[in-house]
Structure 1
Amino acid sequence: MTIDTKRCIACNSCAVACKIENNLPNFNWWNRVMTVGGNHMDAPSGMYPNLEMYNITLACQHCENPACVKVCPVGATYKDEETGVVRQDYDKCIGCRMCMAACPYTGVRSFNWEEPRYHLEFSVGDSDVPGHQKHVVEKCTMCWHRLAKGLAPACVEACSARARHFGDLNDPDSDVSRLIRERGYQQLLPERGTEPSVYYLV
C-alpha cells in the first residue's frame, strides 16, 4: 500500500470505513490518523508564517519480516503467503499479547479485555468478517475478505483525496510500483528490520 502524505487531508474516512467494514467493537480502531507537527491534533509546528504539518495514517504495516509472527507461540498470528497480509486467527489466539509486545508500531493492535460491545444492536460491514471475541488480539487485516473477491481494502476505496493505493509490488505496472518508483517515500522504523509493506509518499 502507498499513502500519499501530500494528498491526505486527515478526514478520517479511512478510519471510519475500516471500523464499519470490519464491524469493530466500541473504542477499537485499526486505522488512526495522526498529525505530525505540533503537540495536538491538527496543530502545526513552527512559528507563523513558517509552519509545518502533515498527516500519517497508522495501521498494521503488514511487514515482509513480521516480528509478531515470530513470537506467537500458537501460530495465531501468521502471514498469508499468497497476499502478504499478516493475519490473526481469533480461534487460536490465547491472549498472551506477545505479538503486541514484539510489534515496533505502537498502537496498531488492540486487545479485547471484555466481551466485545457495540453501539448498534446489529452487525455492520461485510458478512465474511469473523466475529470478534473476548481475550484476543485484533488489528488491521488489510480487508483480506475483500482481497479474496478482487476488491481493494475499504480504506483505499473510501479515501476521498485519493491518497491511498493498493496493489502488487511484484508487478512493475501496478499503481503502487509506479508511485514508489516515481516519488520519494519513507517507511516506518525501517531500522527494525521488519520490512513494512506500507510506503508513505512524501
Structure 2
Amino acid sequence: MTHYAIVTDLNRCVGCLACSVACKAVNDVDAGNFWNKTLRIGPNKKTDSYDAIDMDMYYLTVQCQHCKDPECVKVCPTEASHIAEDGTVQIDKSKCIGCQFCAMSCPYGVRYLNQEERVVEKCTLCEQKTAQGELPQCVSQCTGIARYFGDLDKGIDGFRGACNTTLKDKVEPYTDADLHHLRNVGNDPSFVYILRRMEWQGEE
C-alpha cells in the first residue's frame, strides 16, 4: 500500500509564502483562489511566562489533507472525487458536475468551484510530478526546508525535502507529542505537522 502525504515542521516555517506562490504557478491556479494557504497563528502569550510581551507565533500551511476516509469522496454523486492508488484524493474533471457537495463537506474549506470550467478544484499533491518521482512543487520550493514528502506507510523519517534532504537528517528531534493533525471529524487527515515548545491550535 502507498499513502503519499506531507509533513511540515512548523518550527522551521518562516511564513515566506513560497509554497503558495510555487503551487499557483505550477498548477495554473486562477487569481483569487489557492490550493495552499499559509495562516499566521498568534502572537499568543506563552502560558509558562509572566512576561506580558513574551509571545509565541508560528505559521500553519493548510491545503487538502488527502484524508484516509475523506468526506468529499463519500458525498460525491458521480465518483469524480476518489482515492487514487497512491492514497491521495483526486478529482476526475470529466465526471465532475460542479455540484460542490464535496466543497461543502470538506472540514478545511480547501475546495472551490472553477468558475470557467465549472468543476471543483483543489490540491492534487502535484500528481503530475510525484508520478515521475519528483517532489510536489510546494515541497521542492520551500525556502525554510520545512516541508517533506513521502509515503506514510514507510514512516515519516524518510520523507524527502528540498535540497535532497530527509526529515530525519534535517529537522531537530521531536517526540510523538510534537506530531499533530488538523481537526479530525472522522475523515482521518493524513498530513502531519511538527510543533515543539508551543501550543498547537490547528484543531480550532
Is TM-score (shorter-chain normalized) higher than 0.5?
Answer: yes
1:36 aligns with 2:35: no
**1:99 maps to which residue?**
102
Deviation for aligned residue 1:182? 4.3
Q: 2:65 aligns with which of 54, 61, 70?
A: 61
1:109 aligns with 2:92: no
| Aligned partners of 2:14 and 2:59 also within 8 Å | yes
Letter of the structure 2 residue corresponding to residue 87 of structure 1: Q
**2:130 maps to which residue?**
147
CA RMSD between the two structures: 1.9
1:71 aligns with 2:56: no
2:193 counterpart SS class: strand
1:170 counterpart SS class: helix
Larger displacement relative to structure 2 (44-53 or 19-28): 44-53
Deviation for aligned residue 1:109? 1.1
Separation in structure 2 between the aligned mates of residue 137 and residue 103 of structure 1, nearest angstrom: 12
TM-score, structure 2 normalization: 0.79
1:167 aligns with 2:150: yes
Deviation for aligned residue 1:45? 2.8
Separation in structure 1 between the aligned mates of residue 31 and residue 65 of structure 2, nearest angstrom: 23
Q: Percent identity?
A: 42
Deviation for aligned residue 1:175? 2.8
**1:200 maps to which residue?**
193
**1:122 maps to which residue?**
none
Separation in structure 1 between the aligned mates of residue 38 and residue 93 of structure 2, nearest angstrom: 26
Runs of 4+ displaced beyond 4 Å: 176-179
Separation in structure 2 between the aligned mates of residue 78 and residue 165 of structure 1, nearest angstrom: 24
Separation in structure 1 between the aligned mates of residue 106 and residue 183 of structure 2, nearest angstrom: 11
Separation in structure 2 between the aligned mates of residue 30 and residue 198 of structure 1, nearest angstrom: 14
| Aligned partners of 2:35 and 2:123 also within 8 Å | yes
1:194 counterpart SS class: coil
Letter of the structure 1 residue corresponding to residue 65 of structure 2: Q
1:138 aligns with 2:121: yes
Separation in structure 1 between the aligned mates of residue 71 and residue 159 of structure 2, nearest angstrom: 27
Separation in structure 2 between the aligned mates of residue 187 and residue 75 of structure 1, nearest angstrom: 26
Deviation for aligned residue 1:5? 0.6
Deviation for aligned residue 1:48? 4.5
1:166 counterpart SS class: strand
- Unmatched tracts of structure 1, length 5 or more: 38-43, 116-132
| Aligned partners of 2:174 and 2:194 also within 8 Å | no
Letter of the structure 2 residue corresponding to residue 109 of structure 1: R
Q: Deviations over 1:172-196 (max 9, x none)?
A: 46237858x9442110012x12111
Would you say how many aligned residue pairs link Structure 1 and Structure 2? 173
1:186 aligns with 2:180: yes
